[in-house]
Structure formats: structure tokens, C-alpha cells
């Protein structure tokens, strides 16, 4: 067919000729464009970036050591010396909250990575091989899923004891069924595509198929789960620490700081207010960002 | 219909076996001796050995497991290590408390969520829509116990309006219900919104408009009823989440429900109570999901063929309809 020459086409060609670089439109750049247009998602992204900076530069921002006890300054109200006040041991709450960012984000990252690798692997295997493998894996996951997630995690911490690696293991196991289910769905969607069939036809090996063809095409959806799960693991971690099954003192994790202030809720509410705000802001920001990512990577899911 | 229900109830058996096996495995890995835990530190070695024999702890784990399962079949969930009372009789009165809180919370979440969902669907792509979504997402993304703490600070500590802990008065139920309910608002809002938007684009809505129906009538009678199917399904999931949320919140509010019972049992490593609690929760969740599926058929008789006798293609079309 001959090239069309309508006035509109000519206008477009003229405009393109003016640009020095040709317009490149990849799925990723399209996603980023959609993400940029979403104001709430951008707010989430900015807050998350600020939190990451706080976590990295915690020693520079925090005026005091997070575990030094100062018995001359116990239970002080927020002031210029202690922005968020001090706790019953005279520890500066502002410094604890700042270091808490580092601990909470890092632990959440570990939990999410662990969950993604374990549950994700199971899901990918189930989704790729299908048949009996799929049935067996998913039925086992069904059993795991009929125990509420937080209860499962609490049981595991009760067995292993309080501590960071134990908590990571607990949240990993508890979230495995959800992760497996999500990743399986992502793989199943990719699996139906024609390019998978043609790769199969030219004899691409199974491992290569999964790593080279399936995961890269499912990665957008996986990123969505990844960011969403960061918020979930912060929620679970702080809830568990708050009721005393999770991390051990004096780790400056937000849930634990709240647990420290529990007894002084009526006399010194400021001890709990600031860590609680921090948890709220963090979880909300991650969710805003995750939601924006979902809309950007996968407009159909909206 | 009856065959379907029986089949679903039979499916409960492998799930319960699995759940009890998982927790039994956890119990086996737990360091420490339950006998010593019951008798305290000043018990003599012979006393401990006697107790171990009494509890059957010297038997191999599979034997213990099947003995436990045998008991469960007869309604015996074992005795609490802490009080020595049967677990079932300890849990049942607490179940009523938890049921009140959870059901109240789900009802509250659903009513607010459906209302907000309709609002944002009718005002789609306006500031009302964005505001509704942001507010509902806030309560979903913030841990329930943090919302609980803030509400306690406001309503109990500052205003002395509601009790901070306990359920001595009916007012004590309000804060726990709010916290659990608010966290599920977002999912209802979202599902109602997308389902409403889909239904509002259907031909029969256009027909109703063409016939000159009022907008209110269309929204309530034509759109809402058809849009409720996915919402009804999400009530099952939301009840499951609420039970998980109740575990933490009952501890925060000091409410003597099943959640607090299990949390206490976990921290005290009181495994018969944990096991009993987990099994009862799993049974309840499965029954709820069954009831939800049956209620589908009541809401929309068209689904009868797809839910009760799903062929492969029909199943796919149901999923499509629900998603």
C-alpha cells in the first residue's frame, strides 16, 4: 500500500522532524508517563524518597544516640532540646523515631525480598508447569492461607523467639501463600501470549524460558506486589512488635517504641503520638506509590 | 444445591488436617518443655516425667497428632496448659464477644464503603471521587492498632467520651468496631466503585434512562443490585481479614475475645489453645465462604449454574464477571 498523505499525517511528520531524537515509546516509558500524571502517586514517591534519605542519613539527623539513657531528662515533654520529648528512660524519642526509619524500612525490605523469592518462586513454578505441580502447590497454599496471616507470623515468632531474622522468617512464611498466588496469576497471564508459544516452538529450555521470557514480561505486576507488600510488612512488623511478639528491645522499631509508651498513654500521650504518625505516613506513602504503580503498569487492573 | 454444600463441607477436612499439622509442627519445634511450663520451675524431675506421660508427650509426634485429631472429631480440643480447662469451653464464650465485634465492624465497613463507592462512581473523575478514594485508602494502609491508639487518645484520653479498654459497657465495643471496620472500607469502596461503573455502562441502564426513570431509581434499583455481586463476595475475604485484625486489636483494647485468647496463648506458648483457636477460626472462615457463595445464588439466580456446577468455561466466565 502506498504511503498515506493526509494533511494530518504531514503535520505529524513535520513535528517529528523538528525533534532531534526520535520518540521512543517502550512499555516502561509509557508506564512512567502514566505514573507522572498521577499526583497522589507522585506525593507517595516523594515521601518514600524522603524516608529513604532519613534512613540513610539517620546518624547525621538524630541529635542523640537512640539507646543512650539519660536519667536527668526522663519523661520530658517535646521541647527544643528533645523535639519529640523523652521516654521513661530519658531516651530521645526523636532520635529513636529517626533510627526507627532505618530499622523499619530495612526489615520491611528484607521481609519483602524473602517473601518474593520464596512465594514468588513457588508461584512461578506453579504457574509455569501447571497440572499436578500447580494443584499440589496451590492446595498447600490454601491450607496456609486458612490461618490468618498475622496469626501465622505470631506463631512462628513464638517458636523462634524475638529478633530481626526470626521476624523476617515469620513474615516470609506467613505471606508465602499470597505471594505465590499473585505471582502465579502474573505468570499465567504472560503464558497465554503468542511469543511464549513461538519460543516453545523453537525449543527454548524451561529455565531460560522462565528467566528470559516470562519474568521480564511479568515484572511490572511483580513490582506492584513488591511495593504493596513493603507497606504490608511494615504494618505486620509494627503490629506484632506492639503486642510484644516480634522484635526485642531496645531495637528502635516504631511498633516497639509505641509498646514502650503504652503504659504512659494517659500521662504522656506525646510518647506515642510521633511514632504512630511515622507509621501512618510511611504506610500511606507506600500505598499511594503502589497504587500509582498499579495504574501505571497495568491500566486494566484499575 | 445440597450436594454442593456437602461437597464444600467435605473439602473442610483436608484444610483442617493441614492447619492442625502446621501448628503441630510449630509446637514440636518450640524449645522448652510444656510439662515444666505447667508445673513451674520448682517441680521435681519425677513430677515432670509423670506430667509428660499424662500429656502423652513421650509418644512419637505422629501418634500425638492422630490422638489429637481423634479428640477433635469428638469435640475435644484438648486442655489449656495454663488453666487445665478444656479449650473449647474457654473459647466458646469468647467467640460471642469476637463475633459481635467482627460482625459489627464488617457491617460498618460495608455500609460506609458501599456508600462511598456509589458516591465516587456517580461523581467519577471529580474531586469527590479522588477525595473518597484517598480517605478510604488512608484507613486501609494504616495499621489498625495505630488508628486504635489515635482514637483512644482522642475519644478516651482527651474527651473521656468512650472507655479506652474493656467491654464492661456496650460503649466499649464502639472503638474496636470502628478500627476494624475503617480498615475494610477501602476495599468495599473500590469494588463498589468499579462494579458500579461497569453496570452503569450496561444497555439496560440506558434503556431505563430512555424509559424516563429518575436517576435515583436507576442507581438504587437497576445499578446497585446488579453491582452488589462482587461486593458480596468480598465480604468473605473481609471477614477473614477482620478476624486477623481482631487478634491485634482485642489485645490493644483488652477485649476478652478469641483474638486476645490466641495472642495470649501464643506468647505463653500454650499450644492446645493456639491449635484449638486456629482450627475454630479455620472452620468459621470456611463456613462463611460457603455462606457467601450460597448468598450469591440468592442475589443473582443466574449464577446458579456457574457456582454449583461449574464447567471449565463457565468457571472462567464467572471469574470474569466477578473481577
What was the pLDDT predicted at A50?
94
CA dihedral sign of residues A113, A117, A120, A122: negative
Tens digit of each residue's pLDDT, chain B (323 residues) = 778 778 878 887 888 888 888 888 887 877 777 777 777 777 777 888 887 787 777 788 888 888 888 888 888 888 888 888 888 888 888 988 888 888 888 899 999 999 999 999 888 888 888 888 888 888 888 888 888 888 888 888 777 777 777 777 777 888 888 888 888 888 889 889 888 888 888 888 889 889 988 888 888 888 888 888 788 778 777 777 787 788 888 888 888 888 888 888 888 878 888 888 888 888 888 788 778 777 777 766 776 666 665 544 444 444 444 44
Spatial contact of A94 and A274, defined as CB atoms under 8 Å apart: yes
Beta bridge partners of B79: B86
Nearest Cβ partner of B149 from A144, A266, A276?
A: A276
**B131 interfacial to chain A (CB closer than 8 Å):** no
Dihedral (C-alpha) B276, B281, B287, B290: value to the nearest 10 degrees? -140
**A273 interfacial to chain B (CB closer than 8 Å):** yes
- Return phi, psi of residue B156, to 5°: -100, -45
Of the two residues B26 and A239, the one the predictor is more confident about is A239
**A291 interfacial to chain B (CB closer than 8 Å):** yes
pLDDT in tens, A153-205: 888 888 888 888 989 999 998 889 888 988 888 888 888 788 888 888 888 88
Say if the Cβ atoms of B281 and A148 lie within 8 Å.
Answer: yes
pLDDT in tens, A248-286: 777 888 888 888 888 787 777 788 888 888 998 999 999
What was the pLDDT predicted at A46?
94
Residues in chain A with CB shorter than 8 Å from the CB of B146 are 238, 258, 276, 279-280
| Nearest-neighbour CA in chain A from B278: distance (Å) | 7
Say if the Cβ atoms of A140 and B251 lie within 8 Å.
Answer: no
Band of pLDDT at residue A94, cut at 50, 70 and 90 = confident
pTM of the model: 0.81
Say if the Cβ atoms of B152 and A158 lie within 8 Å.
Answer: no
What was the pLDDT predicted at B294?
78
Say if the Cβ atoms of B137 and A269 lie within 8 Å.
Answer: no
Say if the Cβ atoms of B153 and A272 lie within 8 Å.
Answer: yes
Dihedral (C-alpha) B8, B13, B15, B17: value to the nearest 10 degrees? 180
Q: Give the residue from chain A lying closest to B262, CA to CA.
A: A151
**A150 interfacial to chain B (CB closer than 8 Å):** yes
> DSSP letters of A129-176?
H-HHHHHHHHHHHHHHHTS-HHHHHHHHHHHH-SSHHHHHHHHHHHHH
Amino acid at each position: 500500500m502506498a504511503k498515506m498523505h493526509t494533511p494530518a499525517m504531514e503535520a505529524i511528520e513535520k513535528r517529528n522532524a523538528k525533534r532531534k531524537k526520535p520518540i521512543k515509546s517502550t512499555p516502561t516509558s509509557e508506564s512512567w508517563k502514566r505514573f507522572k500524571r498521577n499526583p497522589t502517586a507522585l506525593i507517595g514517591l516523594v515521601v518514600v524518597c524522603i524516608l529513604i534519605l532519613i534512613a540513610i542519613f539517620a546518624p547525621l539527623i538524630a541529635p542523640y544516640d537512640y539507646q543512650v539513657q539519660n536519667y536527668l531528662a526522663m519523661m520530658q515533654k517535646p521541647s527544643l532540646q528533645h523535639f519529640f520529648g523523652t521516654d521513661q528512660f530519658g531516651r530521645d524519642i526523636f532520635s529513636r523515631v529517626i533510627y526507627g526509619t532505618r530499622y523499619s524500612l530495612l526489615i520491611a525490605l528484607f521481609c519483602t525480598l524473602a517473601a518474593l523469592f520464596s512465594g514468588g518462586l513457588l508461584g512461578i513454578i506453579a504457574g509455569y508447569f501447571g497440572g499436578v505441580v500447580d494443584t499440589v502447590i496451590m492446595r498447600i497454599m490454601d491450607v496456609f492461607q486458612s490461618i490468618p496471616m498475622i496469626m501465622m507470623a505470631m506463631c512462628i515468632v513464638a517458636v523462634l523467639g524475638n529478633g530481626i531474622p526470626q521476624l523476617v522468617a515469620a513474615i516470609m512464611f506467613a505471606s508465602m501463600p499470597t505471594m505465590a498466588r499473585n505471582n502465579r496469576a502474573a505468570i499465567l497471564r504472560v503464558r497465554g501470549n503468542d511469543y511464549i508459544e513461538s519460543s516453545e516452538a523453537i525449543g527454548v529450555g524451561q529455565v531460560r524460558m522462565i528467566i528470559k521470557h516470562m519474568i521480564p514480561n511479568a515484572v511490572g505486576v511483580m513490582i506492584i506486589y513488591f511495593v504493596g507488600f513493603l507497606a504490608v510488612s511494615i504494618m505486620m512488623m509494627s503490629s506484632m512488635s506492639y503486642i510484644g511478639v516480634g522484635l526485642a528491645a531496645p531495637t528502635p522499631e516504631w511498633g516497639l517504641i509505641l509498646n514502650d509508651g503504652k503504659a504512659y498513654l494517659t500521662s504522656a500521650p506525646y510518647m506515642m503520638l510521633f511514632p504512630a504518625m511515622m507509621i501512618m505516613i510511611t504506610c500511606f506513602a507506600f500505598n499511594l506509590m503502589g497504587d500509582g504503580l498499579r495504574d501505571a503498569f497495568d491500566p486494566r487492573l484499575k | 444445591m445440597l450436594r454442593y454444600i456437602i461437597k464444600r463441607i467435605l473439602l473442610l477436612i483436608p484444610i483442617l488436617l493441614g492447619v492442625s499439622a502446621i501448628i503441630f509442627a510449630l509446637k514440636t519445634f518450640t524449645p522448652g518443655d510444656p510439662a515444666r511450663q505447667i508445673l513451674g520451675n520448682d517441680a521435681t524431675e519425677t513430677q515432670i516425667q509423670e506430667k509428660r506421660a499424662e500429656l502423652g508427650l513421650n509418644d512419637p509426634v505422629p501418634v500425638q497428632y492422630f490422638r489429637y485429631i481423634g479428640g477433635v472429631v469428638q469435640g475435644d480440643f484438648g486442655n489449656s496448659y495454663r488453666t487445665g480447662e478444656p479449650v473449647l469451653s474457654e473459647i466458646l464464650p469468647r467467640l460471642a464477644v469476637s463475633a459481635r465485634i467482627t460482625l459489627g465492624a464488617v457491617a460498618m465497613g460495608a455500609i460506609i464503603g458501599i456508600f462511598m463507592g456509589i458516591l465516587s462512581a456517580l461523581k467519577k473523575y471529580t474531586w469527590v471521587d479522588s477525595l473518597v478514594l484517598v480517605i478510604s485508602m488512608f484507613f486501609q494502609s494504616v495499621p489498625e492498632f495505630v488508628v486504635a491508639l489515635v482514637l483512644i487518645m482522642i475519644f478516651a484520653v482527651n474527651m473521656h467520651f468512650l472507655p479506652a479498654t474493656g467491654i464492661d459497657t456496650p460503649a466499649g465495643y464502639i472503638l474496636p468496631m470502628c478500627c476494624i471496620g475503617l480498615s475494610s472500607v477501602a476495599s468495599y469502596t473500590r469494588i463498589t466503585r468499579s462494579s458500579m461503573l461497569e453496570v452503569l455502562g450496561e444497555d439496560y441502564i440506558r434503556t431505563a434512562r430512555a424509559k424516563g426513570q429518575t436517576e435515583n431509581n436507576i442507581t438504587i434499583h437497576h445499578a446497585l443490585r446488579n453491582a452488589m455481586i462482587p461486593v458480596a463476595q468480598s465480604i468473605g475475604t473481609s471477614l477473614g481479614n477482620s478476624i486477623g485484625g481482631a487478634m491485634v486489636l482485642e489485645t490493644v483494647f483488652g477485649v476478652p475475645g478469641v483474638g486476645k485468647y490466641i495472642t495470649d496463648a501464643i506468647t505463653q506458648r500454650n499450644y492446645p489453645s493456639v491449635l484449638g483457636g486456629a482450627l475454630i477460626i479455620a472452620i468459621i472462615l470456611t463456613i462463611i465462604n460457603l455462606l457467601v457463595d450460597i448468598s450469591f445464588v440468592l442475589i443473582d439466580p443466574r449464577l446458579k449454574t456457574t457456582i454449583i456446577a461449574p464447567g471449565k468455561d463457565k468457571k472462567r466466565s464467572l471469574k470474569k464477571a466477578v473481577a
